[in-house]
Chain A
Amino acid sequence: DGGITQSPKYLFRKEGQNVTLSCEQNLNHDAMYWYRQDPGQGLRLIYYSQIVNDFQKGDIAEGYSVSREKKESFPLTVTSAQKNPTAFYLCASLGPTGLYGYTFGSGTRLTVV
């Protein structure tokens, strides 16, 4: 079955540490997205990529970085510059017509310890 796989499901980060969240899709979608979800704030766009080797900042990109070396993969790194990283992170992809909206992964919950 086609879909998006995010790993790990739970991640704990120490102060000053960089961590990388994995997102892999086998849907053959060009466009991929990273969102952050905080209680009562909905989803906020961190980064997006329309095609391999290209990505753009979203609304809250500070303290995050991404890469898109392969169509299937869009990892997100939460750097030590992100002062409040505890949140639920969601990866999504979008098919060429946009008709069916995003397909989401199951999310990664990141906690600072």
Chain B
Amino acid sequence: GEDVEQSLFLSVREGDSSVINCTYTDSSSTYLYWYKQEPGAGLQLLTYIFSNMDMKQDQRLTVLLNKKDKHLSLRIADTQTGDSAIYFCAESIWSSTGFQKLVFGTGTRLLVSP
């Protein structure tokens, strides 16, 4: 089945690290993604990780992938108030006809307080 799970809410103080967790179900997913959504806006790609990688770092963002447990995490170092948003985890699913779609989690609302 297709199911991506995330916790709904995370609150941190400015300057702390934030860790957002995600579990997915399809072990054949090629790519896994993290998107950010600000109020009233579309989703913006933050980073992605290929399924044969364990870790990817991009400036303040670190993605960890545990394929055995189908667990993905996003760590934001030195979290700023501008990081307050909803963060979505997504896995890519390929059909037998070659159609690719992304399956999204419910999103984690990150609130950063000064």
Whether A60 is near chain B, meaning CB under 8 Å from some CB there, is: no
Residue contact A107 to B30, C-beta cutoff 8 Å: no
Most chain B CB neighbours (cut-off 10 Å) among A42, A90, A104: A42
Number of A-B contacts (CB under 8 A): 60
The smallest beta-carbon distance between B54 and chain A, in angstroms, is 18
In Å, the complex CA distance between A105 and B102 comes to: 15
| Contact status of A101 and B45, CB under 8 A, knowing A42-B104, A94-B100 | yes
Residue from B31, B43, B107 whose CB has the most chain A CB atoms within 10 Å: B43
Chain B residues contacting A107 (CB-CB under 8 Å) are 40-42
User: Are B105 and A42 interface neighbours, CB within 8 A?
Assistant: yes
Contact A90 B42 (CB under 8 A): yes
CA distance A40 to B92 in the complex (A): 21
CB nearest neighbor in A for B90: A101
Interface residue tally for chain B (C-beta within 8 Å): 25
Give the residues in chain A near B4, CB-CB below 8 Å: 42
Q: Interface size class for chain A?
A: 20 to 34
Q: A6–B42 Cα gap in the complex (Å)?
A: 10
A64 within 8 A of B: no
Please name the residue on chain B nearest to A106 by beta carbon. B42
Contacts of A33 in B (CB 8 A): 101
| Residue interface mask A79-110, B partner, CB < 8 A = 1 | 00000000000101010001111111111010
List A residues at the B interface (Cβ < 8 Å).
Answer: 4, 6, 31, 33, 35, 40-43, 45, 48, 50, 56, 58, 90, 92, 94, 98-107, 109
Name the 9 nearest CB pairs between A and B, nearest first.
A104-B42, A42-B106, A43-B104, A101-B33, A104-B43, A106-B42, A42-B104, A107-B42, A98-B100
